[in-house]
Structure 1
Amino acid sequence: MKINILSALMVSGLLLGGCGKDSKEAAKEVNEKKIDQQATAISDDAKSDAKEVADNVVELFSMGMTEYELSKIALQKATNPEVRSYAQRAMNEHQQNEKQLRDMARTMNITLPATMAKDGKDRIEDLQDEKPGTAFDLQYLKEMNTVNDKATDTADDLADNAPNETVKTFARKLEEGDKKHRDQAKQMRNALN
Structure 2
Amino acid sequence: MASARFLLFGCCVLLGACSPDASQKDPVAEARFQNEKRIGEAAVTERQERDAEFMVNAASSGMLELEMSKLAQQKSATPAVRSLAQRLVQQHGQVSTALRNLAQQKNLMLPSGLGSDQQKQYADLSALTGTQFDKRYVEMLLETHKTDIDAFEDMSKDAYDGDIRGFAAKFLPALEQHQEEVGVVEDQLEDLP
TM-score scaled by length of structure 2: 0.85
Deviations 1:119-151 (A, max 9, x none): 2211211111011x2222111101111111111
Q: 1:171 to 1:14 in 2, by over 3 A?
A: farther
Deviations 1:64-117 (A, max 9, x none): 000000000000011221211110110011111111100000111111111111
- The answer to whether structure 1 residue 141 and structure 2 residue 138 are counterparts is yes
> Which of 145, 148, 151 is 2:148 aligned to?
151
The match for 2:124 is 126
TM-score scaled by length of structure 1: 0.85
Cα pair 2:72 2:85 within 8 Å, conserved: yes
> Which of 41, 50, 61 is 1:37 aligned to?
41
Q: 1:19 to 1:191 in 2, by over 3 A?
A: closer
> Percent of counterpart pairs with the same letter?
28
- The answer to whether structure 1 residue 105 and structure 2 residue 109 are counterparts is no
Q: Distance in 2 between matches of 1:147 and 1:51?
A: 22
The match for 1:59 is 57
What's the secondary structure of 1:18's corresponding residue? Answer: helix
> Which of 179, 185, 188 is 2:182 aligned to?
185
- The worse-fitting range, judged by mean Cα deviation, of 48-57 and 117-126 is 117-126
Q: Distance in 2 between matches of 1:175 and 1:25?
A: 25
CA RMSD of aligned residues (A): 2.4
- The worse-fitting range, judged by mean Cα deviation, of 28-37 and 56-65 is 28-37
Give the deviation of 1:190 after TM superposition: 1.8
Give the deviation of 1:47 after TM superposition: 1.4
- The answer to whether structure 1 residue 7 and structure 2 residue 23 are counterparts is no
Cα pair 2:48 2:161 within 8 Å, conserved: no
- The answer to whether structure 1 residue 117 and structure 2 residue 115 are counterparts is yes
- Structure 2: state its 5+ residue gaps: none
Q: Distance in 1 between matches of 2:38 and 2:161?
A: 20
The match for 1:18 is 22
Letter in 2 for 1:118: S
What's the secondary structure of 1:110's corresponding residue? Answer: coil
Q: 1:87 to 1:160 in 2, by over 3 A?
A: same
Give the deviation of 1:160 after TM superposition: 2.4
- The worse-fitting range, judged by mean Cα deviation, of 93-102 and 5-14 is 5-14
Which residues in structure 2 correspond to 1:80-99 (within 5 Å)? 80-99=78-97
Moved over 6 A (4+): none
- Structure 1: state its 5+ residue gaps: 40-45
> Which of 24, 27, 31 is 1:27 aligned to?
31
Number of residue-to-residue matches in the alignment:
184
Deviations 1:14-43 (A, max 9, x none): 79x73844221221111111011123xxxx
Letter in 2 for 1:106: Q
Give the deviation of 1:168 after TM superposition: 1.9
